[in-house]
Structure formats: structure tokens, C-alpha cells
Amino acid sequence: MAFKQIIKRPEQSFFLLGPRGTRKSTWLKEHFSDAHWVNLLNEGLFQRLVARPETFVDQLATRTLWPTGS
């Protein structure tokens, strides 16, 4: 079931927060398929960013992505 979108599509970086199962990922994939994704539920990625937050800046600068499973 699709719901009417209440907010405008952001033009800059943003955080999308909400409960599981509310189609956040589906909406993001439909509207921002080429965006840089950071899934902080990925424990390995989260730990790397906590240990060395500067790697996030490096990652954005080079637009390289860590594998989603690591």
C-alpha cells in the first residue's frame, strides 16, 4: 500500500529515521538509487566508524563503499 508523501524530497544530506517495516529503504532506493548509504545497523561498519570516524570523510571523498555484509 502506498501512502501520500508528506514531505518534499530533500536536496541535501539527511537522516531518515523510523520504525522497521515502514518502507524507508524502499523509498530511498526509489528516489536516491545512486546515493551513498551508511547502514549503522551493520555492526562491523559501525565499529570501524566509532574507532576511526575520519574514515567516513575519506570514504565520502573517494565515494568508495564498504561491502554491506562486512
Is residue 29 included in any domain, yes or no?
A: no
Is residue 47 included in any domain, yes or no?
A: yes
Please tell me the least confidently modeled range out of 11-20, 44-53, 57-66. 57-66
- Mean pLDDT, to the nearest integer, of 1-27? 79
19-50 pLDDT, tens digit per residue, is: 989 888 888 888 888 877 788 889 998 999 99
Is residue 49 included in any domain, yes or no?
A: yes
Residue 66 or residue 32, greater confidence: 32
CA 9 to CA 64: how far, in whole Å?
A: 24
Cα-atom radius of gyration of the chain, to the nearest Å? 14
pTM above 0.75, yes or no: no
Domain count, the chain: 1
What contacts 54, CB < 8 A, 6 or more positions away?
A: none
Is residue 52 included in any domain, yes or no?
A: yes
Angle at the Cα of 7 (from 16 to 59), degrees rounded to 5? 35
**Which domain covers residue 54, as residue numbers?**
38-64
Contact 45, 51 (CB under 8 A): no
